Chain A
Amino acid sequence: MKKVRIFLTGLLMTMAVALGGCTGDKTAETPVSSAENADGSGYSATGQITIGIAQDLDDGLDPHKVDAAGTREILFNVYEGLVKYDVNGNLVPAVASDYAISTDGLTYTFTLREGVLFHDGNAVTPDDVIYSLSRCADTSNGEALKPALTNISFLQANDEGKVVIKLNEPDPDFLSYMTTAIIPAWNTDPETNVVGTGPYKFVSHTPQESVVLEAFDEYWGEKAHIKNVTLKVIANPDSIVMEMMGGSVDMFCRVTDEQAKELATGDFNIETGTMNLVQALYLNNSYEPFQDERVRQAICYAIDPDEVMAYVSGGEGTEIATAVFPAFGRYYDASLNDNYNKDVEKAKELLKEAGYENSLEFSITVPSNYQPHVATAEVLVEQLKAAGINASIELVDWDTWLSGTYSERNYQATVIGVDANPLTARALLERYRSDAGNNFMNYNNPDFDAKLDAAFATYDDEEQTKLFKECLSILSETAASAYIQDLPCFVAVRKNVAGYKFYPLYAQDFASLYFTDAQ
C-alpha cells in the first residue's frame, strides 16, 4: 500500500510538471506536400496548413465594422475592394479592372472586372458595389462605418455597367478607401453571411478555437496554392513554441525574437519584416493625472524605447515618437525621436511641477495574448519605477481588452500597437480628433483638430503633407501617448512552406503560401 502511495505521489509530481509545462493539444498534422503546384501551373489547391493566430476574431466578421487589426488581416484573404494593396503598398485594381479619375479629382469611374465571382457563385454586379459603398457611407445610425466615404455625393452605375462616384470635395486619399470590401447586395447581415470575393472562402468559426478557410477555386486572380487553412487561436503566448515544435501549428506570424531564435533551431524558417504598427504606452487622456500634459511628458522622458527594444524585439525595432510608423516614408520624421530622450531627472522635475512627485500611480492594461506588448509593459514598469512612477500591470484577455479598454475606454494606460487602415495619413491621425469614435485615448486638443481639418481641406499634395507632419509633431510635443516603436515582425514558417509575403500594412496573405520539398 505504501509503495502504491509513493508511486502515486511520484505520478502526481510528474503531472504537476507536465501539466504546467504543456497546455496545447498534441495532434500533429503533417501537411501534405504538393510541390507540383508550387509554380502555380496546373492549378489545384491541395494540402492543409495550420496557422497560429494570437487572437480570436472577437470583434466579428463584418468587414465594414471590424476594428481589430488582427481580425482585418485574416479577412484580407476573404474580402476585396474595388482596388487593393499589393506587397509594395500600391493600390492595384481588384474587383474593378480599371478606373479613371477626372482631372478635377471629383469623379471616379470604375470598370468592373469580368468574371469576378462571390464565394456563393454569383458574379459581382454594379449593384453589389453600390450597396457595399453606400452601406459604409450611411450616416442614418450616427457615425458612418467609413467616415471618409461620406464625401460621396453621387453613386450610380452608368449605361455601360461602370460605377461612377462623384465627390463633394476632392480627396487625394479617396482611392485608398476603395479597398472597402465588396459584399453581395442581398447580404444584409455580413456578420453571419461571410461572402466575399477573395482567394479564400470562409468555412467556419469556432469561438476561442479556430477559423477555417478554404481556397476559392473560381478566384479571378492568381489562385491560392494551399487548399485548407486552419487558423488556430493560441491565446497563451507561452505555448506557441511548444505547439509549433510539437507539430500542431505550421506557421505563426509575430513571434518574439526569443521565440524566433528558439524555433529557428527546429523545423522552422524565420522571415523578418516589420509589423507596421504604432506601438505605444497609450495613455487615457481623461484619466485625471494624464489630463496634465506635463505628466504625460514626464512618462515620455522616463521611458527609453531603445531599452524596450533590447528586451522585446532583439534590438530590431524602429523607434517612433509620434503616431506614424516608418513605412509612411512621407510622414515619418526620425528627428522627432529626440523630443524625449530618456531623462529621469527631467521626468521627476515635470512630475514635481504637476504635483505628482513620487505619487503617480496607474495600471497598464495589456492583452495577455500579445507577448510583445506584455513584455514591453514589464520593461516599462521597471523604467517608470526609476522616475518614481508606480505602474502596475493588469493582464486581460483580448475580448475584454477590445470591449473594456478599446470600446468603453475604461482604462488608465495600455500597451498596444495601432495600425493604419488603409495606408493613409487620415487613418493614422483621425483617431486623435477629439470627437472620433475610435479615439480610445481620449485625446482632446482643439489645435490638433483645427490643424487636421486644415489638412483635410487642402488639396495641394505638398501642403497637405506638411500639415499632416505638423499634426504628427503636435502629437509628439503634447505627448498624446508615450510612443515606443514599430516592432519587427518575425514570422516562423515550417521549412516545407514558402512564399510568405510582407505587406506594408497589417495583413497576412495566405494565398501566396505554397509547399516545397524542403524539409
Chain B
Amino acid sequence: MLQSIRKTLKKYNNFFFNVGMIITLVFFVLAVVGCFYTPYNTTEMNVALKNSSPALAHIFGCDNYGRDIFSRVMEGIRNTFFISFFTVMIGSLAGIVIGAISGYYGGKLDEILMRINDVMFAFPSVLLALVIISLFGSGTMVVTLALGIAFIPSFARIVRSEYKKQAALDYVQSAKLMGAKDIRVIFVHILPNILPVLVSSVMIGFNNAVLAEAGLSYLGIGVQPPEASLGRMLSEAQSYLFSAPWYALFPGLAIVFMVLGFSMLAEGISAAKSR
C-alpha cells in the first residue's frame, strides 16, 4: 500500500505538479477555512476605514464600506472555488458521457446528439445559464447547476472528436475482437488515452467558470451582495482602481493564482502521463 503511494508520488514528482499542487492546496485550505473562520466579519462596515490602504490590522486594506478585504477575499475564494469546481465537474462528467457515446458509436445517434449540442452551443453560455436561472430561481446552487449545464457542449464536442479518432485505432479494434464490451472499451481503454486533452480542457474550463461566475454575479444572480465573490469584488473595484488599487489587486491576484495553480497541476499531470 505504502509502496504504491510512494510509487505514484514518484511518478508525479515534477516541478509543475509540485508547484501546482502547493498552490491549489493553499487555495483549497483557504476555501475550507473560509467556511468557518475569517479574521473579520466579512460584512461588518466601518466608515473610518473606507478605502483604507493595507496596514497591519488589515493586511489587504479595506473596501469602500470599510470591510476587511482579506476576509472578503477568503470568502470570495470559497465561493468562487466551489462554484467553479462543481461547474466544471458537472460540465465535464456529462460532457464525457455524451461525447463518448456520440463519438464511439457514431451514426444516427451521433448526429442527433451533436445537433442538440449545436443548438446548445448556439446560445452564449451566459444566456443559457440565464434561461435556466429564470426557470429555477437564483441562488448559488442553481448558478452552479446552470453554469455546469452550459459547459456541457464544449466538453462533449472535445471528447467526441477524441473518441472518433481513437475508435479507428488498432488497439480499440483488437480490444473489440477480444470480446471487450462497449462500455469497457469506452471507459477503460479509450478514456485514459484522451486524458491529456481532457485535463487541459478541464483547466481551461475552470478558468472560464471563474469568469462566468463573475459575470453572473454582476447580472444579479448567483452570489448576492453583501456576500463576496472574487468576480464581484474585482468588478466593484473598477471604480476605485486609481484611489484604492489594492481593492482590485488582491482579488485579481487570487484569481490569477487560482488559475495558475490549476494550470500547473494540469501541466504536471500531463507531463507525468507522457513520461
Contact = CB atoms under 8 A, between A and B. Distances in A.
A and B interact physically: yes
Interface of A: 2, 5-6, 9, 12-13, 16-17, 19-23, 236-242, 245, 256, 258-259, 261-262, 265-266, 307, 310-311, 368, 374-375, 377-379, 381-382, 385, 392-397
Given A13-B256, A382-B43, A393-B224, A238 B239 contact: yes
B91 to A, nearest CB: 18
Contact of B252 (A21, A238, A242, A266): A21
A22 B234 CA distance: 10
A62 to B, nearest CB: 27
Contacts of A242: 238, 241
Contacts of A237: 239
Given A13-B256, A395-B219, 18 more contacts: A2-B267, A9-B259, A13-B263, A16-B207, A16-B211, A17-B252, A19-B211, A20-B252, A21-B234, A21-B248, A236-B218, A240-B239, A258-B243, A262-B239, A382-B44, A385-B43, A396-B220, A397-B219
A411 to B, nearest CB: 14
Given A20-B252, A381-B226, A393-B225, A258 B240 contact: yes
Contacts of A262: 239-243
B65 interface: yes
Contacts of A261: 243
Given A265-B242, A382-B44, A258 B64 contact: yes
Nearest to B214: A20
* Chain A, interface SS category: helix
A491 to B, nearest CB: 16
B50 to A, nearest CB: 8
B267 A311 contact: no
A5 B255 CA distance: 19
Interface in B134-167: 138
A17 B252 CA distance: 6
A19 B212 CA distance: 11
B256 A238 contact: no
* Chain B, interface SS category: helix
Contacts of A17: 234, 252, 255-256
B238 A241 contact: yes
Contact of B239 (A241, A265, A392): A241
A285 B253 CA distance: 45
Contact of A310 (B47, B204, B225): B47
A255 to B, nearest CB: 9
A244 to B, nearest CB: 10
Contact of A395 (B220, B243, B263, B264): B220
Given A19-B211, A381-B226, A368 B218 contact: yes
B210 interface: yes
A20 B260 contact: no
A22 B252 CA distance: 12
B236 interface: yes
Contacts of A13: 256, 259-260, 263
B51 interface: yes
28 contacts: A5-B267, A6-B267, A13-B256, A16-B210, A16-B256, A17-B252, A22-B238, A236-B218, A236-B235, A238-B237, A238-B239, A239-B235, A239-B238, A242-B238, A256-B239, A262-B240, A262-B243, A311-B45, A374-B225, A378-B65, A379-B45, A379-B65, A382-B43, A382-B44, A385-B43, A394-B138, A394-B220, A396-B220
B191 to A, nearest CB: 22
A20 B240 contact: no
Nearest to B262: A9
A23 B248 CA distance: 15
Contacts of A22: 238
B34 interface: no
Nearest to A381: B226
B61 interface: no
A240 to B, nearest CB: 7
B220 A368 contact: yes
B25 to A, nearest CB: 18
Given A265-B243, A395-B220, A12 B238 contact: no
A200 to B, nearest CB: 30
A151 to B, nearest CB: 42
Given A12-B263, A16-B207, A378-B226, A21 B220 contact: no
B95 interface: no
Interface in B218-275: 218-221, 224-226, 231, 234-243, 248, 252, 255-256, 259-260, 263-264, 267, 271
